[in-house]
A and B are shown apart, each in its own frame.
Chain A
Amino acid sequence: MPSENLAITWRRIPERYRLVGTFCRNCQTSYFPARKLCPKCRRKGKIEQKQFSGRGKIYSFTEVTAGPSGFEKQTPYILAIVELEEGPKLTAQIVGARKVKIGDAVEAVFRKIIEDSEEGLIHYGYKFRLV
């Protein structure tokens, strides 16, 4: 897999390592990934940083049997849309389970996502497991 720009990787560390997104105090809406501007409130929005709990449920999922380059050793794996308890949805791998269903409760775990190459950077981030 072609390596992501190092500056982008570095900027996304708080988001990927510990689910840091944002929250609009004006309309009480949580955003993940982070938004600089609240699309509902526009200029009236009061955006602040928010760390998500990592708890949520499976909103939708698919089983990946032919993964993209860099994920060959992990296939087959489950890729799911997880609805966080704070509201936002995100796409992530489900670990430690071969069968899941919509509505299953999940929690975030810290895992290796991909390695650029044998000598390259190791990218870490969130995945989810059933609770």
Chain B
Amino acid sequence: MQSVGIVGYGVCVPKYRIKVQEIARVWGEEGDRISASLGIIEKSVPDIDEDAATLAVEAARNAIAFAKIKPDAIGAIYVGSESHPYAVKPTATIVAEAIGATPNLTAADLEFACKAGTAGIQICMGLVGANMVRYGLAIGADTSQGRPGDALEYTASAGAAAFVIGREKEEIVAEIEATCSFTTDTPDFWRRQHAEYPSHGGRFTGAPAYFRHIIGATQALFEKTGTRAADYDYFVFHQPNGKFPIEAAKKMGIDPQKVKPGLFTPIIGNTYSGASPIGLCGVLDIAKPGQRILLTSFGSGAGSDAFAIRVTDAIEKKRGEYCGRRLSDYLNDKEYIDYAIYVKHRRKLKM
């Protein structure tokens, strides 16, 4: 297959934050202990008028500005989310219209818990590599919810990342050299149609779900590419909390210092479909030409997609010319809210 890669990338993280301490206060729990055990200090909260579609649009606009392409050259859009605003009516068409890519393109929504965004990257790689479209746009976006009082409430947050996938050598800022997946039917986390909050298997979400799939896909990628941990400068793993990605690295003999630059869950929470993609964007903001990144997502249900990525010389010029909002801008532009305002924002209050 001909080489394909990332031509542009962008993120969106809502401005509001709530501290784990504040959520713990409401439920009479010890905030320090929970914060330490999850490795999370605070999480992002969407504004009352933000949803997965609005976050996807903003991330997409940033990615297109970075890529410096005309939106109507995009031939495919996939939006991965577990919080699509409609049960029936695609988020992808809203994005397509908002960025001005309509009507000559294909578009669809994807759902695979937290890995629907990386599934979109794989589909775009196929379409772009097969010359079926010039550019594909893959987005992971979520405004995920945890049941009030549930452990998930400390982590479930909101954010999005978008990637323009292309094949023109001089346009690619990070070449995707290989990808492979590890998928099984594992009942670790689910949400039934019409249910407002998800259900999960508690501790079962660890070993048989997250670790088995992350490690399975990562090791399969090592084998497929004939590489090993030492060949990569950065590792980005799905980050449902601040602890799991570090633990996964240790289990595979990977230096945890290579994981930390792409670990944002401690300060924005688990953005679900946005999580590992935002981590990748954070690494792309600092990586040098020639450096190699290994990305492995995880989605409950369950599966992992692993990617071997090599940063190209083109990244420095494009990063320098990009004048839109970067991940660091979104991280710095924050405002804390208390639990009462949080309840209003997340529509947990029925009026």
Instruction: List the interface of chain A (C-beta within 8 A of B).
Output: 13-14, 17-18, 51, 72-74, 95-96, 109-113, 122, 124, 127
Contacts and interface: CB of A to CB of B under 8 A. Distances in A.
Contacts, number: 47
Interface stretch (B44-52, B161-169, B175-183, B310-318): B44-52
A122 B97 contact: no
B100 A111 contact: no
Given A18-B99, A124-B54, A73 B48 contact: yes
Given A13-B97, A14-B97, A96-B47, A73 B54 contact: no
Interface string B46-63: 011111011001100100
6 contacts: A13-B97, A73-B347, A74-B49, A95-B49, A110-B98, A111-B54
User: Which of A74, A95, A109, A113 gathers the greatest number of chain B CB atoms within 10 Å?
Assistant: A109
Contacts of B54: 109-112, 124
A111 B55 CA distance: 9
Contact of B49 (A18, A51, A127): A127
A110 B58 contact: yes
Contact of A112 (B51, B86, B98): B51
Contact of B85 (A17, A96, A113, A122): A122
A100 B203 CA distance: 47
A124 B351 contact: no
A18 B94 contact: no
B344 interface: yes
Contacts of A18: 97-100
Contacts of B335: 96
Interface of B: 15, 47-51, 53-54, 57-58, 61, 85-86, 94, 97-100, 335, 344, 347, 351
A30 B49 CA distance: 29
Nearest to B61: A110
A74 B48 contact: yes
A73 B58 CA distance: 23
Given A73-B347, A110-B61, A112-B51, 15 more contacts: A18-B98, A18-B100, A72-B351, A73-B344, A73-B351, A74-B48, A96-B47, A96-B335, A111-B47, A111-B54, A112-B49, A112-B50, A113-B49, A122-B53, A124-B53
B58 A109 contact: yes
A13 B57 CA distance: 14
B96 to A, nearest CB: 10
B95 to A, nearest CB: 9
Given A18-B98, A110-B58, A124-B98, A96 B15 contact: yes
A112 B85 CA distance: 10
Contacts of A72: 351
Nearest to A131: B325
A19 B335 CA distance: 28
B49 A111 contact: yes
Nearest to A95: B47
A124 B52 CA distance: 12
A96 B100 CA distance: 25
B98 A17 contact: yes
Contacts of A17: 94, 97-98
Nearest to B85: A122
Contact of B50 (A14, A51, A111, A113): A111
